[in-house]
Structures are given as C-alpha cells and as structure tokens.
C-alpha cells in the first residue's frame, strides 16, 4: 500500500520551526524584563470589583456623614422651585429656566458624592497598578473578533470564575438583604399609626445599615477577586525554559560572540600588561609555572606594585621579556604562589607579603650595586 504523500511546502532544511508550547510547559517565573515589557504594553492585573467596592463604601460613608445636610439642601431647592412656580404669570411659564435651576441645584448637592466616587476609583487604581499610560490596548487586535478565540474566552477558567462570582454576589446580597429587612419588620409595623417623619427616619436607618453590610461583603468578594486576578496575571506571564534562554540571548547577545569579546578583551589586557613589563624591578618565579613582575617607586608607591603576572605560556613570555630588558629574575616558590593567589595586576601587594618582598627587593638592589656596569639579566 502506498504511503500518503506529505507536502512540505516551502520548508527547507535548517528552517526554524516554533515549537508548540502549552501552559504546562511554562514552568519558569517571569523575568524582570518580561514584567517590564508586559507593563509597557498595558498588561497589568487590576480588579474591577475592588474599585466598585471602594466606590460603594466611600459613597455610602459620605452619604452617612452628609445625609442631613443633603436633606436640608433638597428641601430648600424644592421650596425655591415651588415658590418660583407660584409667581409665574399665566402665559409666561418658562420650563427651561426652572429645569436649569433644578439641575444646577441637584448637581451642587450631589457634587461631593460624585467627587468622592471619582477620587476613590482613581486612588484604588493607582494603588493596584500605579501610573501606567499605554496606548497598545487601544490599537486594533484581530484576535478579538476571531470566533474561535471568542469561544475560548467564553469557556475559559476566567469566564467560569466571573460567572461564579456574579452568582455568589447575587446570592449573598439577596440573603443579607432578606434577613436584615426581615429583622426590621417589627419596627416598621410599629410605625403604621405614626407620622411620616418617623417612617423616613427608620427607612434611612435601615438603608444605611443594609448598605454598610452589603458594602463590607462586597469588599470581601473584591479582595478574593483581587487575589485571583493577580494569580491569573502571574500565570499568564510565566515562561518556558526556551523563552528564558531566548530572552537572555536577546538581551546579552549570542554566547559565542560574548566569548569572543571576552577573549579579545583578555588579549588586549595581556598586551597592555606586557607593554608595562619593562618598568618592573624584578620578576619572581615558581620557577617555570608562575611569573610575577613587581615595581617599586618610593616617591609614588606605598608598597611594591604588580606590573604583570601569568602562568604557563604567559609566565614563559614574562621571563623572556625580563631577560630581554635585563630585569632580575628571582626564584621563590612560596612568595610567587602567594602573589598569584592574593595579588592583582596594577595593584599593590598584600600587607602580609611586605616583609618577604622587601627582603627580595633588598637582595636585588645589592646584586645590582655589585654588578653595576655589567650586562645581561640576573638570575638569582
């Protein structure tokens, strides 16, 4: 039986194919760069329920504090409108003027509540995400009109959570309202034969107590929603190991190029070091594995300074240049090993080596005095 033909299209050997990744593959925590990019694109977690709960509670608090003032202001506004209606002459009724006066008075009275809601909403948003202006969310996104993507959003975990949250809010608010109002029914029945002002006071008390209870429950649900939104946002930003490697490669460059750059920098440092070697006073050796060149200038240095240092091939090069420039070579395995481990090129030697190096320098200076006028490097 003939095997089915497989069409490869325009694929060629060496082409990179993006691997399929699932949520299970995203095992790495988001990197700081990933978090910054997400924030720049407007991908931040924010609980709308928390904003709504804050608005509800702050407006309710303002209403409880300013309720008596608001009632007096409305009474004065209605009295003014009724007085104006009584003074209107027949045929001269101007509804527009009365409407404007009523609307202006209403907005003046309600301004503190509107302002409280706006301030609370802005404050909660700033506390959640800070100030983050991004226009990427305003750009057209074709996936938003994709039917398949729409179905995925409808039956996603987030959509199920939103449905459960809405049902929970409806049930909880309904139960709280029912039991609270039922507990106030005896007080309401006792007001049947009393003046309307007493009924208004009871209604105000019941509405305030009910609003406070519903607001606090709504705040508790909003905190749960906040935790869920933060968890989902963090999960959406998690990365696969491949994505972490690609990001690191993008930010720091190709590893091969970085290694070449480091090698070039190392060679340049060695070249500069060898160029400084002729200024050294002596070279301490191990005798063949390590070579450390030292220089001491009493007028500028507090202690001998390392001019060059190397092991293996570099140590041999240092010894050759020392002989070429007639610099004393001193074999001292212990001092050479300590300098190799504890000293650095361009820096002064460690304090604990002052005495040992001073003795070697004194020996070199005495040998130079004895051989003054002679030629060739000195091997001690």
Q: What's the CATH number where 344 sits?
A: 3.40.1690.10
Predicted local distance difference test score (pLDDT) of residue 5? 37
Predicted local distance difference test score (pLDDT) of residue 197? 62
Is the domain of 336 the same as that of 193? no
- 140 Cβ partners below 8 Å, 6+ apart? none
Is the domain of 221 the same as that of 295? no
Angle at 111 between CA 108 and CA 113, to 5 degrees: 140
- pLDDT, one tens digit for every residue, the chain (380 residues): 333 333 333 334 444 444 445 566 677 777 777 777 777 776 777 778 888 888 888 888 888 888 778 878 887 887 777 776 655 554 455 667 777 877 888 888 888 888 888 888 888 878 877 666 555 555 555 555 666 665 666 666 667 777 887 888 888 888 888 888 888 778 777 766 666 666 667 777 777 788 888 888 888 888 888 888 888 878 878 887 787 777 777 766 666 767 777 888 888 888 888 888 888 888 999 877 899 999 888 888 888 889 899 888 888 998 888 888 888 888 888 888 898 888 888 888 888 888 888 888 888 888 878 777 554 444 45
> Which residue stretches of 87-195 are H helix?
95-129, 147-154, 157-183, 185-189
In a domain, residue 260? The reply is: no
Burial 280-293 (b: 16+ CB within 10 A, else e): bbbbbbbbeebbbb
The number of folded domains in the chain is 2
Q: How far apart are CA 196 and CA 199, in angstroms?
A: 5
Domain that holds residue 342: 275-370
Beta-bridge mates of residue 330: 284
In a domain, residue 138? The reply is: no
Is the domain of 322 the same as that of 229? no
Identify the three-state secondary structure at position 321. helix
Predicted local distance difference test score (pLDDT) of residue 86? 59
């Amino acid at each position: 039986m003939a095997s089915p033909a497989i069409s490869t299209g325009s694929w060629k050997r060496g082409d990179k194919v993006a691997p399929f990744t699932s949520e299970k593959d995203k095992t790495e925590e988001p990197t700081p760069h990933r978090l910054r990019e997400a924030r720049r694109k407007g991908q931040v977690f924010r609980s709308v329920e928390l904003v709504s709960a804050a608005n509800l509670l702050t407006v309710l608090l303002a209403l409880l504090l300013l309720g008596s003032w608001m009632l007096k202001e409305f009474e004065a506004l209605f009295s003014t409108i009724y007085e104006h209606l009584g003074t209107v002459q027949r045929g001269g009724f101007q509804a527009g003027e009365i409407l404007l006066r009523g609307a202006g008075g209403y907005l003046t009275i309600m301004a503190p509540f509107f302002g409280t809601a706006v301030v609370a909403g802005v404050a909660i948003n700033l506390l959640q995400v800070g100030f983050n202006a991004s226009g990427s969310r305003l750009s057209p996104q074709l996936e938003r009109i994709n039917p398949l993507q729409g179905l995925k959003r409808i039956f996603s975990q987030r959509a199920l959570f939103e449905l459960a949250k809405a049902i929970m809010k409806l049930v909880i608010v309904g139960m709280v309202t029912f039991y609270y109002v039922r507990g106030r029914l005896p007080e309401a029945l006792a007001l049947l034969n009393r003046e309307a002002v007493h009924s208004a006071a009871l209604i105000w008390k019941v509405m305030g107590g009910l609003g406070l209870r519903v607001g606090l429950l709504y705040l508790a649900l909003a905190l749960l929603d906040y935790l869920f939104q933060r968890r989902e946002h963090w999960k959406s930003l998690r990365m696969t190991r491949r994505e972490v490697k690609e990001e690191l490669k993008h930010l720091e460059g190709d590893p091969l190029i970085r290694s070449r750059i480091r090698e070039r920098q190392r060679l340049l440092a060695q070249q500069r070091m060898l160029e400084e070697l002729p200024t050294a006073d002596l070279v301490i050796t191990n005798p063949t594995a390590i070579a450390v060149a030292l220089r001491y200038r009493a007028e500028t240095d507090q202690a001998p300074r390392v001019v060059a240092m190397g092991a293996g091939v570099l140590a041999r090069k240092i010894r050759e240049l020392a002989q070429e420039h007639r610099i004393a070579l001193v074999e001292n395995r212990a001092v050479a090993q300590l300098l190799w481990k504890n000293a650095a090129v361009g820096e002064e030697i460690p304090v604990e080596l002052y005495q040992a190096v001073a003795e070697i320098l004194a020996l070199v200076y005495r040998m130079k005095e004895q051989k003054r006028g002679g030629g060739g490097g000195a091997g001690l």
